[in-house]
């Protein structure tokens, strides 16, 4: 099927009927067709700003590359819909086969981004601030941190991530990444002493064992279990480096893990970020209204806890009602088979469009605008992506 645009001039306002027709599907195809690997998001940000303007939003791209669109009466409570516009590397040819749209970012997370834009454009009696954040797929959460530092706190937040159109994500594990380096004089291969690369392998095994020992549960996917994944290893007899990505539950003691890591033989150890895990109760107003909107379509909502992390972790210190929602199967994130059902995109738009005004009626009226500065523990500043534990 060709990827031609519907007959909508980008310089003209988009008509309400377009939002019920082929415009959402076209918008997602167009957004997925613009590569936006982390650090290279500006082209898609500019495109989405143009579309937001055509839809009647007050739109702009900020200093770090986030795209913003605000719509609705200033006297109404503000609900922020924050997704991310960056993707992991890897080419997935953009094509549509029947109801399925294939392409990098279709699920994670341009599908959610488009659903939020179209739902906000259909809503009334609520002020909606849509944000397409940069840098979610890499350590540091640069885009979401910039939003926290520069944008007044909203009354509620929906994070755009794939939960399935009939699912709601109540929480995410936290994350930290531990880097390891060992340098030593080269040894003969007949020596009984460990080589540098053997030290690195032992380090990874010891850290993984430490994390497993923190919980009696054996299932590594369980939300209360901390896990460590060796993501790369390189070295030889004299020098070796390794890196582990650790997924950790809420309340995890990062300092204790770092003390344990430093107790092992090493030349240098560093971490890239310390992102706490987050959970929200079923009674959270955002969760409640999303559940009601899904149930109104005759489906029982599925509540989920994710083993990964998201910008929900970063924005959690705001302390406002919050949950994650968006179309797509998260099992397809980052895969060569990434695709989304367009019918699920339209269902998600309907759910969000029903949720927004109902949620607004539950929220307090706007107060004086203030900007909350993010705490240091949420993640590193944009210019400092690692925390050195020992030189």
Is the pLDDT confidence value at 180 over 70? yes
Q: How confident is the model at residue 386 (pLDDT cuts 50, 70, 90)?
A: very low
Q: Which of 137, 128, 118 is nearest to 155 (CA)?
A: 128
User: Residue ranges of the domains in the chain?
Assistant: 22-172+278-361, 174-275
Q: Determine how many CB atoms are found less than 10 A away from the CB of residue 383.
A: 7
The pLDDT, as a whole number, for residue 366 is 78
* Residue 125 known to be catalytic: no
Element (H, E) at 199: helix 196-212
State the residue for tokens 């939300």: 223
| Distances 14 to 37, 67, 331 between C-alpha atoms, Å | 28, 19, 33
Q: Is the distance from CB of 127 to CB of 73 less than 8 angstroms? A: yes
Task: Return d(Cα 235, Cα 247) in angstroms, integer.
Answer: 25
The pLDDT, as a whole number, for residue 125 is 87
Element (H, E) at 229: strand 227-235
Q: How confident is the model at residue 124 (pLDDT cuts 50, 70, 90)?
A: confident
Strands (E), the chain: 58-61, 67-71, 78-84, 95-97, 100-102, 127-133, 156-160, 167-172, 174-183, 227-235, 239-248, 268-275, 278-279, 302-306, 322-325, 339-341, 387-390
The pLDDT, as a whole number, for residue 376 is 44
CATH superfamily of 22-172+278-361: Zn peptidases (3.40.630.10)
> Do β-strands 239-248 and 78-84 pair in parallel, antiparallel, or remain unpaired?
unpaired
Question: Are 22-172+278-361 and 174-275 the same fold in CATH?
Answer: no
Segment 312-336, tens digit of pLDDT: 999 999 999 999 999 999 999 999 9
- Kindly name the residue from 18, 41, 108, 136 that is annotated as catalytic: 136
Q: Is the distance from CB of 169 to CB of 323 less than 8 angstroms? A: yes
- Kindly name the residue from 18, 41, 86, 333 that is annotated as catalytic: 86
Is the pLDDT confidence value at 391 over 90? no
Radius of gyration of the chain (CA): 22
Task: Return d(Cα 172, Cα 352) in angstroms, integer.
Answer: 21
The pLDDT, as a whole number, for residue 104 is 98
Q: How confident is the model at residue 372 (pLDDT cuts 50, 70, 90)?
A: low
- Spell out the alpha helix ranges (H) of 37-130: 42-54, 111-122
Q: Which CATH class is domain 174-275?
A: alpha beta
* Residue 86 known to be catalytic: yes
User: What proportion of the chain, given as a percentage, has pLDDT over 70?
Assistant: 89
**Mean pLDDT confidence for 235-247:** 97
Segment 279-301, tens digit of pLDDT: 999 999 999 999 999 999 999 99
């Amino acid at each position: 099927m060709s990827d031609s645009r519907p007959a909508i001039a980008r310089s003209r306002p988009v008509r309400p009927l377009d939002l019920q027709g082929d415009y959402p599907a076209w918008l997602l195809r167009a957004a997925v067709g613009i590569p936006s690997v982390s650090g290279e998001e500006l082209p898609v940000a500019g495109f989405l700003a143009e579309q937001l303007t055509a839809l009647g939003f007050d739109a702009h791209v900020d200093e770090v590359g986030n795209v913003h669109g605000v719509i609705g009466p200033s006297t109404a409570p503000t609900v922020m819909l924050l997704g991310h516009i960056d993707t992991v590397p890897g080419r997935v040819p953009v094509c549509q086969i029947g109801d399925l749209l294939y392409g990098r970012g279709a699920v994670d997370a341009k599908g959610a981004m488009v659903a939020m834009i179209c739902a906000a454009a259909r809503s009334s009696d609520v002020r909606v601030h849509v944000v397409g954040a940069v840098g979610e797929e890499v350590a540091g959460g640069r885009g979401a941190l910039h939003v926290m530092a520069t944008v007044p706190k909203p009354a509620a937040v929906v994070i755009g991530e794939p939960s399935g159109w009939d699912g709601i994500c109540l929480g995410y594990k936290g994350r930290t990444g531990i880097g390891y380096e060992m340098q030593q004089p080269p040894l003969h291969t007949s020596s009984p002493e460990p080589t540098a690369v053997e030290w690195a392998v032992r380090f990874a095994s010891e850290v993984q064992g430490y994390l497993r020992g923190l919980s009696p549960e054996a299932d590594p996917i369980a939300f209360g279990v901390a896990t460590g994944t060796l993501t790369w290893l390189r070295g030889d007899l004299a020098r070796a480096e390794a890196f582990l990505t650790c997924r950790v539950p809420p309340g995890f003691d990062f300092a204790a893990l770092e003390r344990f890591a430093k107790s092992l033989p090493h030349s240098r150890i560093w971490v890239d970020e310390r992102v706490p895990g987050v959970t929200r109760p079923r009674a959270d107003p955002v969760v409640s209204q999303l559940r009601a909107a899904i149930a109104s379509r005759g489906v029982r909502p599925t509540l989920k806890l994710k083993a990964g992390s998201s910008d929900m972790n970063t924005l959690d210190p705001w302390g406002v009602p919050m949950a994650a929602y968006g179309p797509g199967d998260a099992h397809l994130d980052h895969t060569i088979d990434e695709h989304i059902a367009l019918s699920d995109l339209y269902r998600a738009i309907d759910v969000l469009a029903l949720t927004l005004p109902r949620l607004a009626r539950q929220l307090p009226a706007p107060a004086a605008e203030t900007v909350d500065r993010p705490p240091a523990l949420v993640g590193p500043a944009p210019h400092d992506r690692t925390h050195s534990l020992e030189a």
